[in-house]
């Protein structure tokens, strides 16, 4: 099992009924989304959620403590439709299915990419994000 699959399995243990390839695709889709020019990294993602009226939820994912969920409908207000379409295609589902999966998983990913309870001072590339997740779970 590769590191991406291992990290994904650990992070999304609540979705263990999903095949690991689907989980890996979801994690890859989330990292690609965060790092897309349209989003602009973790700070850009937070800005998208703030603009959609979901800043408090998104900020809680960064902060230490519980990570309140969001709905697929709320997620669609924050994430550009073309981004959701691309992730849906990558996952082999429709936009509604991708939105639901992202809504369930994104809080956990953001939480794990911000272990100190704050956004990183510098933008992180996908390799750095994956390295951070690896360190989080494998010390």
pLDDT at 14: 44
88 within a domain of the structure (yes/no): yes
What total of structural domains would you count in the chain? Answer: 1
46 within a domain of the structure (yes/no): yes
Q: Quote the crossing angle between the two packed helices 81-91 and 95-113, to the nearest 10°.
A: 100
Assign 102 a pLDDT band (cuts: 50, 70, 90): very high
Distance set, CA 80 to CA 4, 20, 44, 85 (Å): 25, 26, 12, 9
* pTM, entire model: 0.76
4 within a domain of the structure (yes/no): no
Q: What digits encode the pLDDT tens for the residues 9-65?
A: 444 444 445 444 445 678 878 888 888 889 988 999 999 999 999 999 999 999 998
CATH number, domain of 28, equals: 1.10.10.690
pLDDT at 136: 63
Q: Which domain holds residue 77?
A: 21-138
């Amino acid at each position: 099992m590769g590191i991406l699959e291992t990290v994904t399995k650990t992070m999304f243990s609540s979705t263990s009924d999903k095949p690991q390839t689907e989980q890996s695709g979801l994690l890859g889709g989330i990292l690609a989304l965060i790092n897309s020019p349209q989003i602009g990294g973790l700070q850009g993602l937070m800005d998208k959620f703030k603009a959609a009226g979901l800043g408090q939820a998104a900020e809680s994912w960064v902060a230490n403590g519980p990570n309140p969920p969001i709905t697929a409908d709320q997620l669609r207000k924050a994430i550009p439709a073309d981004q959701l379409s691309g992730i849906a295609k990558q996952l082999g589902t429709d936009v509604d299915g991708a939105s639901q999966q992202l809504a369930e998983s994104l809080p956990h990913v953001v939480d794990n990419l911000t272990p100190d309870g704050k956004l990183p001072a510098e933008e992180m590339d996908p390799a750095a994000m994956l390295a951070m997740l690896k360190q989080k779970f494998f010390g």
